[in-house]
Structure 1
């Protein structure tokens, strides 16, 4: 194993982690403030990717497509909150799960009806298509580094929003005592809509950015949603700091496991068997990580209400 390969895979893990953070931060905000289990969060990821691909293809501008993906996902999230989610806040979690699962089916079939079943492709813009040299002579895609930079910028922006603004103060108060802030005259319904739209917009941004790395297709948000739930469980539900650390841990562990476990097993197994065994164990690593962390920190690393 070379140091260059290890460095490259660490950066890959960090890039995956920042993408997961964009997903998980919105999800943990919604659950922390509203107590809502939102299985449809991955649909906003898909909406952001499709809108970015469609607008970029029509306009030729990736930045315009990116803005459309972010704002469009946020707008769709606000509409969904007003029309559907608002009726679920005081319902049992099972009702929330069933209703938001139905939203997954509606979004999937609606997207298939609008865009067809064939995947869309979003090319990396030319001004981001270069490479950056790494120690050892390797070259790393600039676009992936930009995704890491965007994730860091969003993390700093969310920290500022939550800790330094009036909206953030209301969000933190809503996590602690939503009845009290309602009694103080704050419109809790508008706060919920704003938080839900923010979470949807972040998921849409994640989908918009990843759309240039993979095909944009129906159902692309569900596998990422599972990882996002793992992230918020590890980090602590309702904690942005926990979501960031959990996302980086999951991204790095998953990436390194998928690359190096098959290589490690080749020392004791034939190549074909080593690949199969290594891949199987690698797919379990993040869940093993979650189990180990929860054994010592049952509410996650940075539970919001500790």
Structure 2
């Protein structure tokens, strides 16, 4: 195992981690703070990628594609919350799951109708097609930009939640919405803004992931499952927990897929290692989640520690 390969995979894990954080931050705002189980969050990630790809096809500008992806998801999230989600807040979680699962099916079919079954692709911006030198290795500039964007969003989320009046209202509304409403705050508007903010983060994740993945119907479901693992490990309702857990999951998943098969070859035959290695690597984050639940059911970084 060369040091350059290890550093490259660590950076890949960090890049995956910050992408997961973009999704987990939006989902934990809705799930942890509003107590709403939104399985359609992955669909917003998918639609953000499609909005960006469509905008780029017409403008050939990555900046406008980014605005279209994030802005489109903000508008869609706001409308979706007003028309459907707001009617479900007082229902139990099973109703949340059934309703948002139906939205997943609807959006997947809508994408096939509007964009067709073929995958779409969003090119890397021209100014990020090069590489950067980090710790003696050459790393793709675009992947490094994803890391930077994710870290900036993490800083912005922390400042929003702890240094602004809106963050104070969000935390107070999650704890005692009746009292906040009695003080004259429009709880319905606050919930709509919070859902739109979560949608914006999902759309941003979709746009940032689009140049390194194929854009296709159903792309949001696999990453949603991983995002739920992040939230469980970090602690439900904890933005900082989502950040730390996303980095842990991203690095663990990347290193496991990169090195576990080769490590198994040291103790087992090549055939067994090639067969079991990828399977064990794909299970690694779920094993990690099970261990965390066994030791700390509230998560590694619960909301009370924010």
> Shorter-chain TM-score: which interval?
over 0.9
Q: Does 1:299 align with 2:292?
A: no
Name 1:231's counterpart in structure 2: 230
- Report the 3-state secondary structure (helix = DSSP H, G, I; strand = E; otherwise coil) of the residue aligned with 1:139: strand
Q: CA RMSD in A?
A: 1.1
Name 1:111's counterpart in structure 2: 111
Query: How do 1:224-263 residues align onto structure 2 when only pairs under 5 Å count?
Result: 224-263=223-262
- TM-score (norm: length of structure 2): 0.97
Deviations 1:178-219 (A, max 9, x none): 121112211100000000000011000000010000110001
Name 2:267's counterpart in structure 1: 268
> 1:42 and 1:286 mapped to 2: Cα distance?
19
- Report the 3-state secondary structure (helix = DSSP H, G, I; strand = E; otherwise coil) of the residue aligned with 2:132: strand
Deviation (angstroms), 1:305:
4.1
Name 1:288's counterpart in structure 2: 287
Matched-pair contact (CA < 8 Å) for 1:236–1:301: yes
Matched-pair contact (CA < 8 Å) for 1:38–1:100: yes
Deviations 1:210-238 (A, max 9, x none): 00001100010100100110001111111
Q: Please, which moves more after superposition, 245-254 or 181-190?
A: 181-190
Q: Does 1:53 align with 2:60?
A: no
Deviation (angstroms), 1:99:
0.2
> 1:284 and 1:145 mapped to 2: Cα distance?
27
Name 1:69's counterpart in structure 2: 69
Matched-pair contact (CA < 8 Å) for 1:262–1:278: yes
Number of equivalences: 305
> 2:225 and 2:133 mapped to 1: Cα distance?
33
Name 2:44's counterpart in structure 1: 44
Matched-pair contact (CA < 8 Å) for 1:15–1:251: yes
Name 1:98's counterpart in structure 2: 98
> 2:60 and 2:118 mapped to 1: Cα distance?
21
Deviations 1:121-158 (A, max 9, x none): 1111111010113445x421010000000000000011
Name 2:153's counterpart in structure 1: 154
- Report the 3-state secondary structure (helix = DSSP H, G, I; strand = E; otherwise coil) of the residue aligned with 2:211: coil
Deviations 1:66-122 (A, max 9, x none): 111011111111111001100100011111100000000111111111111101011
Deviation (angstroms), 1:267:
1.2
Deviations 1:3-28 (A, max 9, x none): 11111000000000000000000100
Deviations 1:252-288 (A, max 9, x none): 0000000110010111233332122111111111111
Alignment gaps of 5+ in structure 1 = none
> 1:72 and 1:197 mapped to 2: Cα distance?
10
> 1:297 and 1:74 mapped to 2: Cα distance?
35
Name 1:200's counterpart in structure 2: 199
- TM-score (norm: length of structure 1): 0.97
- Report the 3-state secondary structure (helix = DSSP H, G, I; strand = E; otherwise coil) of the residue aligned with 1:212: helix
Name 1:182's counterpart in structure 2: 181
Name 1:128's counterpart in structure 2: 128
Q: Please, which moves more after superposition, 264-273 or 39-48?
A: 264-273
Q: Does 1:164 align with 2:163?
A: yes
> 2:111 and 2:78 mapped to 1: Cα distance?
18
> 1:188 and 1:194 mapped to 2: Cα distance?
10
Q: Which segments of structure 1 move beyond 3 Å, counting only runs of 4 or more?
A: none
